[in-house]
Amino acid sequence: MRIRNIKNADELIYESPYLIKNPYLYIGEYKTKVFKNNNPIHLEIGMGKGNFIIDMAKNNPDINFIGVEKYSSITLRALRKLKDINLPNLKIINIDALELSKVFKKEISTIYLNFSDPWPKKRHHKRRLTSEIFLRIYDDICLENIIIQKTDNIGLFESSIVSLSTYGYKIVDISLDLWSTDKVTSETEYENKFRKQGIKINYLKAIKK
Ligand SMILES: C[S@@+](CC[C@H](N)C(=O)[O-])C[C@H]1O[C@@H](n2cnc3c(N)ncnc32)[C@H](O)[C@@H]1O
């Protein structure tokens, strides 16, 4: 994603009530202390400008959603969309996903990986959000390990299938053309752009027992 740096974004994000300012404080207690209910928590890692997670939160009031984004300028773009909207089931965190096991403990029910950076060079493959490094982190944070991935990138998609299967996930649903199915839910910014260009979207759902 092209990042247009916004001056003072690091400080400006703190003005939003949706931002969890110190996410490390609530480890293991997100349901009781942050959402104050017992609904499942779904996480989108690399939420970008937030279209998907905001729409999901609007459409599913009985699910708690948390969007994770590593760049403050991009986080701010998402937070600005939430001005004047009241969504008690949505929170945003500005951290790198590598930090997630210090933030959550066995409390996440579903992880969405939407159009994650593909990291095509072999020496960068471990940075992919479905590499073993991240799958280990997801073990720490998940109560139920359910991963839903959407991507235009076939290299990332194929390596995710291998990585997830090798690690013990079962691919329970898959499509090489999501928009030709009835599985379409909320659309991301990238998905919207690719769909309009006629690019097919790969989709999978994986569960680890
Ligand atoms: C290609 S964009 C896709 C954005 C959005 N999910 C969409 O589909 O439109 C990938 C996003 O993931 C974020 N990202 C990449 N690696 C990350 C990481 N390790 N932790 C948190 N966010 C990450 C990037 O900053 C970027 O905003």
Instruction: Kindly state if the Cβ of 48 falls inside 6 Å of ligand 1.
Output: yes
* CATH of residue 181: 3.40.50.150
Kindly report the three-state secondary structure assignment for every residue of the chain: CCCCCCCCHHHHHHHCCCECCCHHHHCCCHHHHHHCCCCCEEEEECCCCCHHHHHHHHHCCCCEEEEECCCHHHHHHHHHHCCCCCCCCEEEECCCHHHHHHCCCCCECEEEEECCCCCCCHHHHHHCCCCHHHHHHHHHHECCEEEEEEECCHHHHHHHHHHHHHHCEEEEEEECCHHHCCCCCCCCHHHHHHHHCCCCCEEEEEEEC
Residue 91's beta-bridge partner residues?
66
Residue 1 lies in a domain: no
Residue 141 lies in a domain: yes
Instruction: Kindly state if the Cβ of 3 falls inside 6 Å of ligand 1.
Output: no
Question: Is this model's pTM higher than 0.75 or not?
Answer: yes
Phi-psi region of 52 (alpha: psi -120 to 50; beta: other; left: phi over 0): alpha
> At residue 2, does pLDDT exceed 70?
no
* CA separation for the pair 70, 35 (Å, rounded): 22
Q: Confidence class of residue 55 from pLDDT cuts 50, 70 and 90?
A: very high
Note down the domain range covering 202. Answer: 9-208
Residue 120 lies in a domain: yes
Residue 91 lies in a domain: yes
Is 117 one of the annotated active-site residues of the chain? yes
Residue 27 lies in a domain: yes
Alpha carbon of 74 to ligand 1 centroid (Å): 9
Q: Confidence class of residue 98 from pLDDT cuts 50, 70 and 90?
A: very high
Instruction: Kindly state if the Cβ of 46 falls inside 6 Å of ligand 1.
Output: yes
User: Average model confidence (pLDDT) for the chain?
Assistant: 97
Mean pLDDT across the stretch 141-151?
Answer: 98
Residue 29 lies in a domain: yes
Residue 63 lies in a domain: yes
**pLDDT tens digit string along 171-191?**
999 999 999 999 999 999 999
Residue 202's beta-bridge partner residues?
151
Number of domains in the chain: 1
Residue 3 lies in a domain: no
